[in-house]
Amino acid sequence: MVGVDITLKFMGTFTMKLNNAHPGVIFKRKYIRGRREPVNGNKQYQLYEFSEKTGISRQYWGDVFAGRKRVTAKMALLMATVSKENATHWAILQAEYDIMQAQKNKKYRR
């Protein structure tokens, strides 16, 4: 079984180690907050604020942030409008995630 650990450093404040993390999950942890969560140093949005800002439904973003839907090129562009990372960053994370998922599948392993 092939496994890749991803260690992310966010603005020098904390480190998060993720194993096979979906880019939507990463984005949510950094930029989306729950209704009762306090705001940290980064600009964080509640899900309804983010969906209004981007013009995409809360349900769709909820699926992306839960890892049920892929981060498409359009989604990556919208995510880049509120994050410090560019759209290419989110698209590359999605491609890496897809490769890791394919490697888990016995059909594609050597």
Question: What is the tens place of the pLDDT at every residue in 72-85?
Answer: 999 999 999 988 89
Write down the pTM of the prediction: 0.73
**91 alpha-carbon distance from chain centroid:** 10
In which element (H, E) is residue 102 found? helix 87-104
Question: What is the tens place of the pLDDT at every residue in 90-110?
Answer: 999 999 999 988 888 877 666
What is each CA distance from 42 to 27, 32, 59, 74, 83, in whole angstroms? 12, 10, 24, 23, 9
